[in-house]
Amino acid sequence: MRNTADILGIPVDNVSMDEALSKVKNFLGENRFHSVYTPNSEIMMAARRDPELKKLLCEADLLVPDGAGVVLASKILGRPLKERVAGFDLTNRLFDIAKESKTSFFFFGGKPGVAEEAVNNLLSRNINIEVKGIRNGYFSEDEEDEIINQINSSGADVLLVALGAPKQEKWIHKNRDKLKVKVCIGVGGTFDVLAGRATRAPKFFQEHGLEWLYRLYKEPWRFIRMMDLPRFILLVTAVRIGLKKA
């Protein structure tokens, strides 16, 4: 039984980081495809505008709250989520247990060369993961079958898809019946951070729900998109006090 919090009609899993990790471990023990998405406020708002995105989020096998905004929303709605489970952190925790759980990875996404740099950085930090394949995230529609063949023939257990949201979620959902991996995770800008091409907010910002503020400072062109965060909190508050329907 899944323990979820309904946030504007989307069932977000109420799991701690450890519980999320153990769910992924269980997925790896089952011989079928599982999708893992990590929505933040922007994606929750995008899902409100895009029914296809909302539907695919609802059909995920695991949906963890990547943003402080989603956790705050759950509190406003009276269904508090345990904690923020950032996709970046979950991916790194998976790397940590990869050797003991004999888990292999395929890195798909990012600009040419970035995933290779990410993997080299991991290996140089003695994070000895088995990487069965790498493919950058810039492709045309007629290259998709070849990419899927490359992923399937690699035999990787986990496919990390870094195409940015919501492109990666849509790509994963569209191809879920063709992919032979056990777990597929949409990881956004994770490869850029692992490659050292982007930085994550310092711990203080992360621990105080202010990662968005740091991101706004580093990437001010995201301003328009990021306005979805206050919009999301206002909408959730309006739903809570009965001014709007969920």
Residues that bind ligand UDP (CB under 6 A): 109-111, 137-138, 162-165, 167, 188-189, 191-192
CB of residue 22 to ligand UDP, shortest distance in Å: 25
Rounded to whole angstroms, the Cα distance separating 153 from 188 reads 24
CB atoms within 10 A of CB 17: 16
CB atoms within 10 A of CB 117: 17
Kindly state the smallest distance separating residue 225's Cβ from ligand UDP, in Å.
8
| Position closest to ligand UDP via CB | 137
Q: For residues 37 and 11, is the Cβ–Cβ distance under 8 A?
A: no
Q: Report, in Å, the least distance between residue 135 CB and ligand UDP.
A: 10
In whole angstroms, the minimum distance from the beta carbon of 29 to ligand UDP comes to 28
CA distance 76 to 217: 27
Tokens coding 30? 């089952």
In the complex, least distance from residue 192 CB atom to ligand UDP, rounded to whole angstroms: 5
Q: Are 5 and 81 in contact (CB under 8 A)?
A: yes
Evaluate the CA torsion angle 219, 111, 160, 126 in order and state its sign: negative
* Choice between 74 and 190, CB closer to ligand UDP: 190
Q: Among residues 138 and 217, whose Cβ is nearest to ligand UDP?
A: 138
- Which residue is listed with tokens 């919090």? 5
Under 8 Å between Cβ of 182 and 94: no
If the CB atoms of residues 110 and 239 are measured against ligand UDP, the closer one turns out to be 110
Beta carbon nearer to ligand UDP, 87 or 103: 87
Burial category of 152 from C-beta neighbours within 10 Å (exposed 0-12, middle 13-18, buried 19 and up): middle
| Residue 215 Cβ vs ligand UDP, minimum distance, rounded to whole Å | 9
How far are the Cα atoms of 104, 128, 243 from residue 158, in angstroms, in the given order? 6, 15, 43
